[in-house]
């Protein structure tokens, strides 16, 4: 079956707590992107409950896919291929999307393309209109049209991941660029988004914590509480160990220490009472949001929130730009849920401007999990005839890219 150049791909994403489907033309033009969030289901637990996630995906997948087609104004027969996230993610959650996509591809006799969720996040940036790129005048933009063979550093920072990838688009004979990835940075413990979620939880705020902290941080003094990040010793993560990177060039992140430091700060300053009062007050409000939390936060709490966010954002910024310099890349991308953070965008953009280095983020709605990014990442694979095997199954620990030597 030869690929169709004007093809529409239906993307399906169920790796964590969002059931998503999208129709994307040629990996760039989003005709529809539907996301059914499970936040209200997991909220009372302060984190994703895997069994509940699978059950909700099962309930949502068909209506979500139908409404993606409806909003795009197309039918199943108009699709050229189905794309689905194969991993990483929760096994049971991934399986719902994979089973659905496999059955659909089989029934429609259309090819199925398997996509790595992390590659999806990187492609979310490439879905932006070209004029939306922040960079020096004349920056050719997303690297998929007029700029072959550019070397890009991609930070993927979300609730499950804090990774740096060297990404290179390789144009095959004037066709679609096929991307290759090298993993050059990762967290040794918690992901940055996990730290946002845990700190929000321990301060009695809602779930997921990132958007709450993002909204409350501007009301506090980011320099009030000095958090320090210990240097992580690369020797503890030697070549050959699972997930080990090249020790000569590796960047390591670590965000479990700052969560403990925030907890210790609340003990030392006897904040437990006010935290519990806030938790209780928010719990009885229907659809409570950060605006409801603001009057329930005293100065010390707001300063703590602002200082936490500043520390994490600055650690991400310093390490990302140090790696960008080290590898001599000509562009930086930042994607994933935490890349929706306003302070992160402001501080990354300022540093990029200082260095005259183009930087790009996805639109806010494409920063968090969605299926348009999955359909976009599938496009070059579809054009290259890289279809999923019949026996495709969930790959909960799927990695992206090898370690560049």
Contacts (CB under 6 A) with ligand KG4, residues 357-376:
368-369
133 or 196: CB nearest ligand KG4: 196
- Output the smallest distance, CB 398 to ligand KG4, in A: 13
Q: Which does 209 bind (CB under 5 to 8 A by kind): ligand KG4, Zn ion, none?
A: ligand KG4
Contacts (CB under 6 A) with ligand KG4, residues 152-191:
158-160
Taking CB under 6 A as the rule, does residue 311 contact ligand KG4?
no
Taking CB under 6 A as the rule, does residue 334 contact ligand KG4?
no
- Output the smallest distance, CB 158 to Zn ion, in A: 4
> Per CB under 6 A, which region of 36-44, 122-130, 169-177, 337-345 contacts ligand KG4?
337-345
Among 97, 111, 141, 193, binds ligand KG4 (CB under 6 A): 193
DSSP collapsed to 3 states, the chain: CCCCCCCEEEEEECCCCEEEEEEEECCCEEEEEEEEECHHHHHHHCCCCHHHHHHHHHHHHHHHHHHHHHHHCCCHHHCCEEEEEEECCCHHHHHHHHHHHHHHHHHHCCCEEEEEHHHHHHHHHHCCCHHHCECCCCCCCCCCCCCCCCCEEEEEECCCCEEEEEEEEEECCCCCEEEEEEEEEEECCCCHHHHHHHHHHHCCCCCCHHHHHHHHHHHCCCCCCCCCCCCCCHHHCCCCCCCCCCCCCCEEECCHHHHHHHHHHHHHCCCHHHHHHHHHHHHCCCCCCHHHHHHHCCHHHHHHHHHHHHHHHHHHHHHHHHHHHHHCCCEEEEECHHHHCHHHHHHHHHHHHHCCCCEECCCHHHHCCCCHHHHHHHHHHHHCCCCCCCCCCCCCCCCCCECCC
Taking CB under 6 A as the rule, does residue 290 contact ligand KG4?
no
Q: Which does 351 bind (CB under 5 to 8 A by kind): Zn ion, ligand KG4, none?
A: none
- Output the smallest distance, CB 142 to ligand KG4, in A: 20
- Output the smallest distance, CB 64 to Zn ion, in A: 17
> Per CB under 5 A, which region of 31-39, 194-202, 327-335, 365-373 contacts Zn ion?
365-373
Q: How many residues bind ligand KG4 (CB under 6 A)?
A: 19
Taking CB under 6 A as the rule, does residue 214 contact ligand KG4?
yes
Taking CB under 5 A as the rule, does residue 158 contact Zn ion?
yes
Taking CB under 5 A as the rule, does residue 162 contact Zn ion?
no
326 or 365: CB nearest ligand KG4: 365
Taking CB under 5 A as the rule, does residue 369 contact Zn ion?
yes
By CB under 6 A, name the binding residues for ligand KG4: 16, 158-160, 193, 196-197, 208-211, 214, 336-338, 340-341, 368-369
Instruction: Give the interface with Zn ion as residue ranges (CB under 5 A).
Output: 158, 369
């Amino acid at each position: 079956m030869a690929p169709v150049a004007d093809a529409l791909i239906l993307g399906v994403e169920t790796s964590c707590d969002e059931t998503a489907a999208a129709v994307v033309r040629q990996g760039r033009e989003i005709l529809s992107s539907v996301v059914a969030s499970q936040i209200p289901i997991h909220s009372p637990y302060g984190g994703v409950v895997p069994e509940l996630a699978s059950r909700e995906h099962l309930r949502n997948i068909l209506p979500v896919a139908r409404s993606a087609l409806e909003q795009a104004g197309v039918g199943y027969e108009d699709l050229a291929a189905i794309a689905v996230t194969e991993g990483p993610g929760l096994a049971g959650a991934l399986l719902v999307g994979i089973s659905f996509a496999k059955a659909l591809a089989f029934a429609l006799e259309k090819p199925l393309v398997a996509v790595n969720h992390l590659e999806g996040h990187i492609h979310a940036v490439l879905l932006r209109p070209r004029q939306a790129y922040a960079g020096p005048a004349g920056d050719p933009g997303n690297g998929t049209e007029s700029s072959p063979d550019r070397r890009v550093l991609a930070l993927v920072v979300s609730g499950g991941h804090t990774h740096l990838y060297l990404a290179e688009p390789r144009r095959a004979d004037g066709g679609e660029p096929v991307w290759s990835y090298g993993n050059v940075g990762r967290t040794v413990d918690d992901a940055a988004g996990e730290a946002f979620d845990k700190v929000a939880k321990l301060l009695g705020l809602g779930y997921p914590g990132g958007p709450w902290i993002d909204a409350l941080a501007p009301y506090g003094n980011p320099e009030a509480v000095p958090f320090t990040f210990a240097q992580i010793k690369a020797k503890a993560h030697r070549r050959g160990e699972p997930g080990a990177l090249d020790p000569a060039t590796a960047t390591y992140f670590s965000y479990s220490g700052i969560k403990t430091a925030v907890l210790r700060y609340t003990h030392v300053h006897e904040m437990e009472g006010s935290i519990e009062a806030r938790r209780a007050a928010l719990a009885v409000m229907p659809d409570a949001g950060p605006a409801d939390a603001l009057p329930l936060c005293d100065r010390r709490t707001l300063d703590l929130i602002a200082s936490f966010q500043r520390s994490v954002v600055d650690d991400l910024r310093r390490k990302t730009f140090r790696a960008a310099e080290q590898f001599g890349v000509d562009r930086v991308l930042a994607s994933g849920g935490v890349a929706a953070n306003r302070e992160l965008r402001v501080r990354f953009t300022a540093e990029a401007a200082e260095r005259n280095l183009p930087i790009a983020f996805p639109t806010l709605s494409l920063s968090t999990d969605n299926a348009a990014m999955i359909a976009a990442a599938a496009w070059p694979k579809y054009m290259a005839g890289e279809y999923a095997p019949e026996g495709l199954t969930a790959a909960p620990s799927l990695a992206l890219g090898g370690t560049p030597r």
